[in-house]
Amino acid sequence: MELMDIAAVRADFPALEREVNGCPLVYLDNAATAHKPQAVLDRVVDHYRRSNSGVHRGVHALSEEASEAYESARKRVGVFLGGALPAEVVFTRGATESINLVASSFGEAFVGSGDEILVTEMEHHSNLVPWQRLCERAGARLRVLPVDDRGALCLDALDALLGDRTRLLALTHVSNVTGLVNPLAELISLAHARDIPVLVDGAQAAPHLKIDVRALDCDFYVFSGHKVYAETGIGVLYGKQRWLDAMPPYQSGGGMVAEVDLDGARFAALPLKFEAGTGNIAGAVSLAAALDYLTEVGLSAVAAHESALLGRLEAGLRERDGVLVHGGRALRCGSLAFNVAGTHPADVGMVLDKMGIAVRTGTLCAEPLVRRLVPQGTIRASVALYNTDDEIDALLVGLDRATAMLRG
């Protein structure tokens, strides 16, 4: 098994050197966004200093360099996803826009009055609200696969919810609240047995798990660059070519056309058909650099390191009186959510911040799930490859102090 040099990894991230409220930063809000290694920062600066230009349109040297970097990044993403073709990789602003693209374009082509879209109760708002709006526009019905008291999917209910009018199953790979990993292979197989395509929200999986869209056989897979150590404002939509070919463009303008006259337009081939306007070229370059960095550190080493951190945190939390860890003891990655009896999550988060410890509190942009688990919101700690055992221990000690203070 690959081993990580955690000291060397931490030295790669300048943000980790700062202090907050006079204390060393303990950053455990990585599910919201991750910090950037120096290699990514350097690559972006180099792009702007040397090769800043539009792509695909110019014949001069800078445009050719930028175009090569942009398309090289697309190929790099395809490799990261387990062998996706470049034509199947669409650059977007993030997982949210990727899902909105499918809801708009796939919805226009394949969803009509009386049809159904199936989501789950654990979805992030980004994989819920676009489908609600599609159903409103199309006169379709949104159906929901529920979760149990732990926050895990009620898989026994799936078969009854997949019907003749189901046009798409949209679900998350990993819960952004509990960190629970969904059994995608089983879910996708059940949907495909009824010829129902599947969209997977991989925003919380891509930083932690090896992704293979070919093996999963999903029809769409989305993730955001800023959670995998790249810039904000860059994301990915993977779609099987047969679906993308059949879907109309999401937006119109320059770059997504092959030919235009005053009477109409002929659209560009995939994936440019879905990339109107000037894209986030530096973001794509940063994403390729971030994926290179992850690969150099070693995905299996990252997974093992993060799993050990979550195990240490969960064990410590379960030793404390009045702490409820959500999700039971099922397989999880990246995140862990908990509550402390007699305290409000926001109060705990603010006290921890005074100690330089960053966690997330509230409904975590997954209000239906969080309200199902605990009405007042929750506390989430989420890890990354640069976090340490000492930081987990600092959180546990800080939690003890916050609890004593808030309980008075």
Q: Number of C-alpha atoms within 13 angstroms, CB side, residue 252?
A: 7
DSSP 8-class letter at 338:
E
Q: b/e string for 26-50 if b means 16 or more Cβ within 10 A?
A: bbbbbbbebbbbeebbebbeebeee
Closest CA to 395 of 346, 364, 359: 359
Q: How far apart are the first and last CA of the chain?
A: 47
Number of domain units in the chain: 2
Q: Please identify, among 295, 320, 335, the residue that sits at the C-terminal boundary of a domain.
A: 295
* Shared domain check, 230 and 182: yes
To which H or E segment does residue 298 belong? none
* Shared domain check, 172 and 81: yes
* Shared domain check, 288 and 302: no
User: Can you give the pLDDT at residue 191?
Assistant: 98
DSSP 132-190: HHHHHHHT-EEEEE-B-TTS-B-GGGHHHH--TTEEEEEEESB-TTT-BBP-HHHHHHH
The domain that holds 130 is classified in CATH as: 3.40.640.10
Residue 76 to residues 80, 286, 333: CA-CA distances in angstroms?
6, 11, 24
* Shared domain check, 342 and 246: no
Structure tokens at 257: 């056309």
Residue 261 within any structural domain of the chain: yes
Q: Please identify, among 242, 273, 295, the residue that sits at the C-terminal boundary of a domain.
A: 295
Q: Please identify, among 235, 264, 295, the residue that sits at the C-terminal boundary of a domain.
A: 295
Q: Which domain holds residue 90?
A: 41-295
Residue 199 within any structural domain of the chain: yes
DSSP 1-36: -----HHHHHHT-GGGG-EETTEE-EE-BTTT----
Q: Rounding to the nearest 10 degrees, give the CA dihedral for residues 294, 300, 304, 310.
A: 50
* Radius of gyration in angstroms for the set of CA atoms belonging to the chain, rounded to a whole number: 22
C-alpha span between 12 and 15 (Å, rounded): 9
Q: What residue ranges of the chain have pLDDT lower than 70?
A: 1-2
Residue 1 within any structural domain of the chain: no
User: Can you give the pLDDT at residue 58?
Assistant: 86
Structure tokens at 280: 């986030």
The domain that holds 381 is classified in CATH as: 3.90.1150.10
Q: Please identify every residue annotated as catalytic.
A: 365
* Shared domain check, 305 and 287: no
User: Can you give the pLDDT at residue 2?
Assistant: 61
Whole-model pTM?
Answer: 0.97
Residue 276 within any structural domain of the chain: yes
Residue 35 within any structural domain of the chain: no
* Shared domain check, 288 and 305: no
Summarize pLDDT for 133-192 with one digit per residue, the tens.
Answer: 999 999 999 999 999 999 999 999 999 999 999 999 999 999 999 999 999 999 999 999
* Shared domain check, 79 and 217: yes
Contact present, 64 and 55 (Cβ < 8 Å): no
* Shared domain check, 306 and 182: no
* Shared domain check, 285 and 303: no
C-alpha span between 306 and 255 (Å, rounded): 40
Contact present, 203 and 196 (Cβ < 8 Å): no
User: Can you give the pLDDT at residue 14?
Assistant: 98
Structure tokens at 358: 């960053």
Residue 271 within any structural domain of the chain: yes
* Shared domain check, 82 and 186: yes
* Shared domain check, 319 and 240: no
* Shared domain check, 291 and 188: yes
Residue 109 within any structural domain of the chain: yes
Residue 252 within any structural domain of the chain: yes
